[in-house]
Amino acid sequence: MDVTVIATESLSKRFPRVTALDRLSVDVGPGVTGLVGANGAGKSTLIKILLGLSPATEGRAEVLGLDVATEGAAIRERVGYMPEHDCLPPDVSATEFVVHMARMSGLPATAARERTADTLRHVGLYEERYRPIGGYSTGMKQRVKLAQALVHDPQLVFLDEPTNGLDPVGRDEMLGLIRRIHTDFGISVLVTSHLLGELERTCDHVVVVDGGKLLRSSSTRDFTQTTTTLAIEVTDTDEHPDGTRAVREALHARGVTVQDGSGLPGAGHILLLTAQGEDTFDLVRDVIADLGLGLVRMEQRRHQIAEVFTNDTDAQRKEAVGHGG
């Protein structure tokens, strides 16, 4: 099934003082797609245009094969939207609120109630759904926001920063839920975030925008292959008073370029290198073991937008990772 869910063609949106979107052309297929960009990169503007709520200055866009300029109402009937900000009245229960939103999407009263019960259960809200939303935790509120976006069984949902404000556990649960929206519910997802690392784990495809321009659009697999950065920290021993340096030299000898983690917390103790598949992990392990050092950590760094920048401009040079400036 190779259909295009979202297609934009030199889509631009200019406000008197800023250009929010600059000739953005991108095709998005079914599945979970991440839309990554720093704050102000144009993510929310793009969603607004795709919902048919804000006309594009130029270019065109289609959602589910419908033109955003002329068929906004039909699009909004088939998609769901979860805003970034709080949007829940505190004095009604989740059930009442979601039922109302289901009816606002056009579901008859009985269907609205059934779908609400189902959807709230699917997002993980049980007994608490009868209590006023005002008393919910941030995680529960995010689930209600998600439920109102899913209650009318849309073909596509726009999730604007769904992990905002969540603790690590809540974040993981939300990401798992987003994955299930596609795998279990069969609904395509466009999810925005400013953390690339977070989307890598959830999305099939990642679109990176910056300053309203398309920086990159590729499947997550490509992303991880080209940009996996390992951070390593080792202990010092009597034999190697500067363990970090010893590892760097040993790795150099084996032909691996290593960067200092300058600018990061613990700079001077952290080494960064580009992982090229499983072999790099084994190599690092062996090198450190040979030196008799303790491995404090070896982790995949979460990628920030800035790295995509560097990788994009220096795409040919694989070693170029984590330039400070």
Partner 1 sequence: MAAEQSLQATTPSGDTRIHNIGYRSYDGPRLGRSYARMSLYSQSLRGAYGLGRSAKSKVLPMLLFVVMCVPAAIMVAVAVATKAKELPLDYTRYAIVMQAVISLYVASQAPQSVSRDLRFKTVPLYFSRPIETADYVRAKYAALASALFVLTAAPLLVLYVGALLAKLDFTDQTKGFAQGLVSVALLSLLFAGIGLVIASVTPRRGFGIAAVIAVLTISYGAVSTLQAIADVQGSGDAGILIGLFSPITLIDGVQSAYLGASSAFPGGVGPDRTEGLLFVLVTLGLIAGSHALLMRRYKKVGL
Residues near partner 1 (CB under 8 A): 44, 47-48, 51, 53-54, 73, 76-77, 79-81, 83, 85-92, 96, 100-101, 103-108, 111, 115, 118, 121-122, 124, 132, 148, 152-153, 172-173, 175-176, 179-180, 184-186, 200-202, 220-221, 224, 228, 300
Token digits of residue 197: 């690392």
Tell me whether residue 185 or residue 309 sits nearer to partner 1 (CB atom).
185
Q: How far is the CB of 130 from partner 1 (least distance, A)?
A: 13
Nearest to 49 by CA among 74, 26, 67, 27: 67
Tell me whether residue 168 or residue 241 sits nearer to partner 1 (CB atom).
168
Q: How far is the CB of 44 from partner 1 (least distance, A)?
A: 7
DSSP state for residue 302 in the 8-state scheme: P
Q: How far is the CB of 324 from partner 1 (least distance, A)?
A: 26
Q: How far is the CB of 111 from partner 1 (least distance, A)?
A: 5
Opening angle at CA 149, ends 4 and 58, nearest 5: 45
Tell me whether residue 108 or residue 255 sits nearer to partner 1 (CB atom).
108
CB 162 within 8 A of CB 178: yes
Tell me whether residue 202 or residue 311 sits nearer to partner 1 (CB atom).
202
Q: How far is the CB of 138 from partner 1 (least distance, A)?
A: 15
Contacts of 107-112 with CB under 8 Å at 24 or more apart are 107/151, 107/152, 112/151
Distance CA 140, CA 150 (A): 15
Tell me whether residue 143 or residue 240 sits nearer to partner 1 (CB atom).
143
| DSSP of 89-100 | -TTSBHHHHHHH
DSSP state for residue 132 in the 8-state scheme: B
Distance CA 102, CA 321 (A): 47
The three-state secondary structure class of 127 is helix
Q: How far is the CB of 185 from partner 1 (least distance, A)?
A: 4
Q: How far is the CB of 101 from partner 1 (least distance, A)?
A: 6
Tell me whether residue 105 or residue 217 sits nearer to partner 1 (CB atom).
105
CB 20 within 8 A of CB 212: yes
Tell me whether residue 104 or residue 267 sits nearer to partner 1 (CB atom).
104
Distance CA 46, CA 40 (A): 11
